[in-house]
Structure 1
Amino acid sequence: MFNKSSRSQKPKGIAKATKRLADGSTRTYLYAWRGGPRLFDLDGRALTVVDDRLWPAYERAVASVRAIRPQNLHLLVDEFRDSSEYKKLSDKSKRGYDRYLKLIEADDIALMNIQELQDPEARGHFKKWRDTMADKPRTADYAWVTLARVLSVAKDNGRIKVNVCERGRRLYKADRAEKVWQEGDINAVLAVASAPIRMALMMALWTGQREGDLLRATWNAYDGKRLRVRQGKTGARVTVPVGEPLRVLLNAAMAERAKKNPKVVDMRGKDASTILVNTRGRPWTEDGFRASWSAAYKKAGLPTNKEEKLNFHDLRGTAVTRLALAGCNNAEIASITGHSLRDVEAILDAHYLGGRGALADQAMAKLEHFISSEDGASHKSRRKERCLMRGASFQPRVSFTLKETEAFRLERLKEAADDREMTPEELTKAFGPGSFGCHEAMEGASIFMDSVDRHLCEHPAVLANPDWYRLASEAQTALFNLYQAIAEEHIPASHEQK
């Protein structure tokens, strides 16, 4: 049931309970998990210490529980609810999952046994189940994603070997390319909204944070220059430098609070009150804020039909777009909004880039400047020299020897170090495993791997040509191997630094 390497440590979730005996002494008992069965050795004696008898006792306990319950999708749903992946979610995310988990449990697919769930034909059954909700595409997609997540956790836990719901196509396709808050839209709301709504809009626009995180943000998270946010959805901690327009508003509001009530701080000298409050000075409820926001939006005269309506969450994507238009790269944007690099690219590529034309103008201006500059000329010269060194005379070669590849790597490493006014050794240390630069490289490998898969491996022209598809597939595999290789060194090093 468990491989030998896993026996080097005790099973995850082992629980202990200390009980007082009749003679007044105490004894600690071991349980398979909190609320699970007590562990006994083969002679029926309760285990009280962690020793060599633990694993066999644990396996017997798990087997006894599994023997009682049908081994079907319903059981995997329950195990998902008991998993760390589910328990670490925010309450709001749990409520979202629970809605679709109930849809799974209410259907006959919940009775499919473990073997049936791994049969390739099961994917067809699941798609038919999803299609029963086709009149509500978003609901159908969320239900499918939830089912795929349940099976993914089951696969990670060794309960199944195949997740037949991986990479399901979405029924709902939201085109938010034009749903970006323009300056006129922003000014329209600012002109008619109450002061609390204006503050919320400015915070969303200048921080790029989610509605729930902004409503929970407190004054003790703001030091006059930066706002510290712990994102409820991912748990990520983000420190956002506050732009001047928002900083002026926050500092004025902070001064007004201190003037009205000098005793707003707690015993530690901190003000734990939320920054965003309603017109009565009380923290917003989620429903209360949305009702007030909707009223201000309608009062501003902005579109309310489904195709053109803007929502508060669109301000998060608008913040990404504004940062991109200002010349920020993806890593800089992610450091402010808390998105992953992959999500930033996806937002700019597919959802919110209403300013694509402006970005294209900026990109072309940068290219023109680079080509005409000394740096551009130097860069072209270096590339020409590299091609000549390879003996390529600008003709592509299929492969290089290990010795050639290492020579090219060392040359480019030196160039990268020179560009940053560092030595190769300093550069290697600065961008080594555990660093943000290494994380950026890992994310880059993942992004390009997905991009090759999406734009090349699935492209009809490539699919129609066996040789092209083989090359595209090899490129994707190479990028996957690169991602895995970086992750194997970077992730442990990141944990050690924490």
Structure 2
Amino acid sequence: MTTSVKVKGVKRYRHPKTKRWYAYHRASGTRLQAEFGTAEFFQELAEIERATKIAAPTPGSLGLVISEYMRSPDWTVLRPATRISYEKAFNALAPIHDMPLARIDRSFVFALRDKKLLKRHGVWLANYCVTVLSILFRFATDRGWMKLNPLAERVKKIRQTRENGAGNRPWSEAECHAVIERAPLHIRLPLALAMCAGLRRADFLTITLAAVKDGAVTVRTSKRGVPVSIPIHPILADAIAHRPRSDSVVLCVGARGEPWTAMGFNASWGKLRRQLEQEGVIARGLTCHGLRHTLGTRLREAGADDRTIADILGQRSTAMARHYSENAALPDHAKALVSGLDLTGRKGVADVDKVSTLTD
């Protein structure tokens, strides 16, 4: 079925970077997983529609707010990855979907977070659910469904501790080495981009082959829109040189040569991480975002100042007004710092020039 064909009750969205199409059930906001137009697609659509009719939200409830929010322009402008995160929060909040808005106050939300969500889902999702609730309450208040937003005032987040696990902690040299050595080629490349260029998942899963040029990876960061150009570290050069065969213009691809989805990468990386944890090769708590902290830590140890680290990681300080050019060229000393970092305790030996064959 061509992309021009319309299906009643389905909205289609094309990702501006990956050019992949996504299909959503309009009434519920649920993303359909099957390929558009296939028999599996229409079967999945029918099941979603049946479930939506059966589980119609209770009037005046939190579930109704969620349903209306997912029908609104506020939802349609969100990136696919952000919608997936919101859906995680919606699912975690499922036990209170039928709760009337009038019964939800600030003290209830704190009790829900600390006594239920934290124990069942961990620190990150417990905090994230409160963030999503504040957005839903603002949405409801603006439409007159709630008199006051109980989360209008900022909520202090639960902090990570040694007991509940340090969030996004830096990786040790031994952990970096073990993961890079053991990771299959299709997982190694995205991890190397996070480790050696400090890219966030939203960036390392979507950048194209054109981003690799003249010995650097150049990208405009998705979170802050800051253009950065990071010299290719030997570890990253080796990972790029051994990229799985693919016709895709996206740099990071799975084992079959197709661009990663966020959920697919998370599942594959999670499986590898759990295996290495069970073998005692790495400690618990490794995250891809922790590799940004790793790079920042190594740069600090190498003598980089705050401004240099911020330039390399694509951070924009509120105290600075420096203009970032399209090329976002780093100072020579920063380039040397990145290229010379010993991230794994073993110096890289790959030739950066090998990666040019991908874009020639």
Relative to the length of structure 2, the TM-score reads: 0.55
**Is this contact kept in 2: 1:109–1:126, CA < 8 A?**
no
Number of residues paired by the alignment?
Answer: 259
Which piece of structure 1 moves more, 82-91 or 207-216?
A: 82-91
Q: Equivalents in 2 of 1:320, 1:225: separation in Å?
A: 21
Structure 2 residue aligned with 1:346 = none
The higher relative CO (CA closer than 8 Å, separation ≥ 6) is in 2
Q: Does the residue aligned with 1:199 lie in a helix, a strand or coil?
A: helix
Structure 2 residue aligned with 1:126 = 109
Structure 2 residue aligned with 1:43 = none
Residues 231 and 158 (structure 1 numbering): CA distance in 2 closer, same or farther, change over 3 Å? farther
Q: Equivalents in 2 of 1:204, 1:314: separation in Å?
A: 9
Structure 2 residue aligned with 1:359 = none
Question: Counterparts in 2 of 1:205-354, with a 5 A limit?
Answer: 205-231=195-221, 234=223, 236-245=225-234, 248-249=237-238, 252=241, 273-286=249-262, 289-290=265-266, 292-294=268-270, 297=273, 298=275, 301-303=279-281, 308-339=284-315, 341=317
Q: Does the residue aligned with 2:213 lie in a helix, a strand or coil?
A: coil
Structure 1 residue aligned with 2:16 = none
Structure 2 residue aligned with 1:180 = 170
Residues 179 and 96 (structure 1 numbering): CA distance in 2 closer, same or farther, change over 3 Å? closer
Deviation at 1:208, TM superposition (A): 1.0
Deviation at 1:215, TM superposition (A): 2.3
Deviation at 1:102, TM superposition (A): 5.4
Q: Equivalents in 2 of 1:104, 1:295: separation in Å?
A: 26
**Is this contact kept in 2: 1:228–1:240, CA < 8 A?**
yes
Residues 286 and 247 (structure 1 numbering): CA distance in 2 closer, same or farther, change over 3 Å? closer
Residues 287 and 97 (structure 1 numbering): CA distance in 2 closer, same or farther, change over 3 Å? closer
Q: Equivalents in 1 of 2:224, 2:73: separation in Å?
A: 14
Structure 2 residue aligned with 1:168 = 155
Q: Larger C-alpha radius of gyration, 1 or 2?
A: 1
**Is this contact kept in 1: 2:127–2:157, CA < 8 A?**
yes
Question: Counterparts in 2 of 1:91-102, with a 5 A limit?
Answer: 91-101=80-90
Q: Equivalents in 2 of 1:194, 1:129: separation in Å?
A: 40
Residues 227 and 150 (structure 1 numbering): CA distance in 2 closer, same or farther, change over 3 Å? same
Name which of 42, 59, 78 aligns with 1:89: 78
1:189 paired to 2:179: yes
Q: Does the residue aligned with 2:217 lie in a helix, a strand or coil?
A: strand
Q: Equivalents in 2 of 1:81, 1:73: separation in Å?
A: 12
Structure 2 residue aligned with 1:143 = 129
Structure 2 residue aligned with 1:33 = none
Q: Does the residue aligned with 1:436 lie in a helix, a strand or coil?
A: coil
Q: Equivalents in 2 of 1:201, 1:125: separation in Å?
A: 40
**Is this contact kept in 2: 1:141–1:172, CA < 8 A?**
no
Q: Equivalents in 1 of 2:84, 2:236: separation in Å?
A: 35
Question: Counterparts in 2 of 1:447-462, with a 5 A limit?
Answer: none
Structure 1 residue aligned with 2:38 = none
Q: Equivalents in 2 of 1:134, 1:77: separation in Å?
A: 21
**Is this contact kept in 1: 2:168–2:293, CA < 8 A?**
no
Deviations 1:43-72 (A, max 9, x none): xxxxxxxxxxxxxxxxxxxxxxxxxx9777
Q: Does the residue aligned with 2:149 lie in a helix, a strand or coil?
A: coil
Q: Equivalents in 2 of 1:134, 1:201: separation in Å?
A: 29
Deviation at 1:182, TM superposition (A): 1.9
Aligned Cα RMSD in Å? Answer: 4.3
Deviations 1:461-491 (A, max 9, x none): xxxxxxxxxxxxxxxxxxxxxxxxxxxxxxx
Name which of 314, 322, 325 aligns with 1:436: 322
Residues 160 and 226 (structure 1 numbering): CA distance in 2 closer, same or farther, change over 3 Å? farther
Letter of the structure 2 residue corresponding to residue 90 of structure 1: R
Name which of 201, 212, 218 aligns with 2:191: 201
- Structure 1's unaligned 5+ residue stretches are 1-68, 265-271, 343-430, 438-498
Letter of the structure 2 residue corresponding to residue 133 of structure 1: L
Q: Equivalents in 1 of 2:301, 2:143: separation in Å?
A: 44
Deviations 1:321-373 (A, max 9, x none): 2233333344443333344548xxxxxxxxxxxxxxxxxxxxxxxxxxxxxxx
Structure showing the higher helix proportion among its residues: 1
Letter of the structure 2 residue corresponding to residue 203 of structure 1: L
